[in-house]
């Protein structure tokens, strides 16, 4: 696909779909992992594989108590194009640092696409995730991100485009199951 060869195993399957889970609060990288597997399943369409997927874990939006949540992904038409874009973006990131940070990008994309907030407000939410606070570590504290971006503010127009391009198709196909 787009000059890449994809190999690996996808599973486990339960009933009529792919099921992944985490015994902790769900993170955007968990969604991205499921999303990639889901796109591959939808692309192949072979062997009677399912075209739906579910991710279960603790609700990341409820910090006060442990509450289980599950999100489902619906079948995706055109999964090849979406997966090609993700592979090309990954390849670009291997050649030079690109400003894609899963947690901050997820916060930004949800504010714009799901909650219909203005870009300025979405940047505020993403910046809180990026910088952290008194009781939470910011994504910017990751030593790899520090090494790549140093003192430069990477939450710019390229960050915005990447966040929306990566998460828009996912948000169009996901729904809360429980």
Q: Write the pLDDT tens digit of every residue in 81-127.
A: 999 999 999 999 999 999 999 999 999 999 999 999 999 999 999 99
The pLDDT value given to residue 170: 97
For residue 22, give Cα distances in angstroms to 30, 83, 96, 99, 103. Answer: 8, 23, 31, 26, 17
- The answer on pLDDT for 75 being more than 80 is yes
The pLDDT value given to residue 178: 67
- Give me the mean pLDDT over the 50-68 stretch: 88
- The answer on pLDDT for 50 being more than 80 is yes
Q: Write the pLDDT tens digit of every residue in 123-152.
A: 999 999 999 988 889 999 999 999 999 889
Of the candidates 49, 66, 62, the one whose C-alpha atom is nearest the C-alpha of residue 15 is 49
Q: Is the pTM of this model over 0.85?
A: yes
* pLDDT top residue among 45 and 8: 8
- The answer on pLDDT for 64 being more than 90 is no
Of the candidates 59, 71, 53, the one whose C-alpha atom is nearest the C-alpha of residue 10 is 53
* pLDDT top residue among 61 and 24: 24
Joined tokens for residue 140: 């910017």
Residue keyed to tokens 């997966």: 83
Average pLDDT, the chain: 93
Q: Are 164 and 112 in contact (CB under 8 A)?
A: yes
Buried b (16+ CB within 10 A) or exposed e, 153-162: ebbeeebbeb
> Kindly report the CA angle at 32 between 43 and 112, in degrees rounded to 5?
110
- The answer on pLDDT for 35 being more than 90 is yes
């Amino acid at each position: 696909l787009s000059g890449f060869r994809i190999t690996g195993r996808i599973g486990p399957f339960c009933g009529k779909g792919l099921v992944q889970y985490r015994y902790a609060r769900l993170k955007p990288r968990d969604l991205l992992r499921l999303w990639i597997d889901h796109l591959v399943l939808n692309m192949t369409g072979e062997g009677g594989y399912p075209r739906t997927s579910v991710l279960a874990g603790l609700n990341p939006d409820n910090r006060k108590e442990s509450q289980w949540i599950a999100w489902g992904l619906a079948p995706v038409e055109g999964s090849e194009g979406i997966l090609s874009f993700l592979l090309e973006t990954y390849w670009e990131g291997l050649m030079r640092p690109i400003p894609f940070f899963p947690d901050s990008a997820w916060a930004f994309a949800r504010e714009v696409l799901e909650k219909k907030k203005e870009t300025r407000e979405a940047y505020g939410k993403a910046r809180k995730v990026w910088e952290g606070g008194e009781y939470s570590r910011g994504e910017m504290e990751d030593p790899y991100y520090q090494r790549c971006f140093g003192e430069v503010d990477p939450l710019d127009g390229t960050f915005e485009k990447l966040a929306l391009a990566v998460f828009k198709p996912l948000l169009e196909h996901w729904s809360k199951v429980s």
